[in-house]
């Protein structure tokens, strides 16, 4: 699953550490999400969407063909 998390975070001028603190996860989790190595839980995806005041689909792009999990 692709995502625009890094792009959106940088647009808002937020550091990975700050976002991690707000979400209650580690900085490595934010880094892994941005690199597409880890797909978030539904709860974390919704929390991120609410934090950025966007829809989940605006941040995370689900592509069935590339879905490996």
For another protein, the closer of residues 20 and 49 by Cβ is 20
User: Could you tell me the CA-to-CA distances from 54 to 5, 28, 47, 51, 68 in Å, in that order?
Assistant: 11, 23, 10, 8, 25
For another protein, the closer of residues 8 and 45 by Cβ is 45
Query: Under rule CB under 8 A, which residues in 3-62 are in contact with another protein?
Result: 20, 24-26, 28-29, 32, 38, 40-41, 43-44
Residues contributing to the site for another protein (CB under 8 A): 20, 24-26, 28-29, 32, 38, 40-41, 43-44
């Amino acid at each position: 699953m692709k995502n625009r998390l890094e792009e959106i975070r940088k647009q808002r001028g937020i550091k990975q550490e700050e976002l991690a603190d707000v979400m209650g996860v580690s900085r490595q989790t934010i880094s892994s999400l941005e690199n597409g190595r880890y797909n978030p839980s539904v709860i974390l995806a919704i929390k991120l969407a609410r934090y950025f005041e966007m829809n989940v689909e605006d941040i995370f792009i689900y592509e069935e063909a590339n879905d490996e999990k």
